[in-house]
Amino acid sequence: QVQLVESGGGLVQPGGSLRLSCAASGFTFRSSYMSWVRQAPGKGLEWVSGINTGGSSTSYADSVKGRFTISRDNAKNTLYLQMNNLKPEDTALYSCARNIYATFRRNDYDYWGQGTQVTVSS
- pLDDT reported for residue 105: 87
CB 115 within 8 A of CB 94: yes
Percent residues over pLDDT 70 in the chain: 100
Return phi, psi of residue 89, to 5°: -70, -5
Q: What pLDDT digit, counting tens, does each position of 2-59 carry? A: 999 999 999 999 999 999 999 999 999 999 999 999 999 899 999 999 999 999 999 9
Q: How far is CA 91 from CA 18, 40, 94, in A?
A: 12, 6, 9
Confidence of residue 71 (pLDDT cuts 50, 70, 90): very high
